[in-house]
Every structure is written in C-alpha cells, then in structure tokens.
Amino acid sequence: MKLLNKMLRNSIIILLVLGVVSCKNSSLSKKEKLEYSNKGKEIAQASFKELSGKLMEQMQLGGIEKAIPFCNIEALPLTKEMSEKYNVEIKRTSNKLRNSRNRATDRELEVIQIFEKLMTENERLSPIVELNNNSQKHFYAPIIIKANCLVCHGKVKETVTIKTDSIIKSLYPNDEAIGYNEGDLRGIWSITFKN
C-alpha cells in the first residue's frame, strides 16, 4: 500500500510539473512564438556579425595575439551595446565556459542539454521561444562551431597552436571552451525581450 501511495504521489507530482511547463509554454500563441523567433534570429545574427567583424579586424591587425585579448576585454561590452540597440538582454553562454561572466542559468543549461540531445538524434535544431519566470519573452538558439572558430576553440596541437593555447590560458586560466570539432554545439544565444 505504501508503495502504491508513493507511486501515486510521484505521478501527481510529475503531472503537476508537466502542467506548469505546458502552461508556461502555452502562454504564447504560435504567432507570438514565430514573431519572437524571427526577432531573436535577427538580433543573434546582427550580434554575431558585429562580434565576428570586430574580431576579424583584430586578426588582420595583429593575428591571434591581438584577437584573443580583444575578445577578453571587448566581447561583453559589444554584447551590451547590441542589447541596448535592440532593447533586449543578450547573452552568449555555454556549459563549457571560457569567460566565467557568461555563466549559464539553470534554464540555459537545460536548453543546452535539449539541443545536445537533438544533435545526438540527428534532429534539426530550432530556436526555443518561451516566457521566463518574469513573464518576459525569451529566445534561445544554438551556437554551432564553424571551421574558423577552431583556431581558438578546437583541439590543441591540431587547430589550436601551443602559442594560442598559452595566450588563452593566460587570460582565462579556467578555460573549458576548447576541444571542439566543426559542427559541434558551442553554446546558446539567450535573449530576453524587455517589452
């Protein structure tokens, strides 16, 4: 009898959790999800273009020795600038951090796990749009490693030189954002809409 009661109680808890999750997600209409998915993609692409453009400028000016310190100092201010431009909060995060100031929330880690699972099942990755705990629309999209990212995020002695690795470690002593292959999930864009 105790076992049956425990199983019943656990079933009720699971149903309640599923109900809360579905209520949270059903608060947005399909039209709203599509609208904020498109807005989120536009903002993420514009932010990526801004960040990668500035990074490429630094690479042309002084190679990797100039680009890594630039990233260390300017990536977060550039992201903040783009956040202000679009009246949102933009964050790039991962479960394998380089910069500890980009630490993922519990929900962001869940989203990363969702995308990782979909990748292992060879499923298409699509942005997730939902309401957060403050009833703000929130957009999550995967960041996929491209070939040119491997110079700083690939495997040491394969695509990351020893010199590059030592520069990274001098600026990010606890770096975990290395060892990727092209096409791997690097992390996510996490964008909160303020209005």
pLDDT digits (tens, 9 = 90+) for 60-85: 999 999 999 999 999 999 999 999 99
Q: Tell me how many domains the chain contains.
A: 1
Classify residue 5: in a domain, yes or no.
no
Structure-block tokens of residue 97: 């951090």
**pLDDT at residue 2, as a whole number:** 52
CB of 124 within 8 A of CB of 118? Answer: yes
Classify residue 15: in a domain, yes or no.
no
Classify residue 63: in a domain, yes or no.
yes
Classify residue 62: in a domain, yes or no.
yes
Classify residue 161: in a domain, yes or no.
yes
What's the pTM? 0.83
Boundaries of domain holding 142: 29-193
- CA dist 55 and 166 (Å) reads 19
Classify residue 74: in a domain, yes or no.
yes
pLDDT digits (tens, 9 = 90+) for 95-120: 999 999 999 999 999 999 999 999 99
- CA dist 13 and 51 (Å) reads 44
What integer is the mean pLDDT of 165-176? Answer: 96
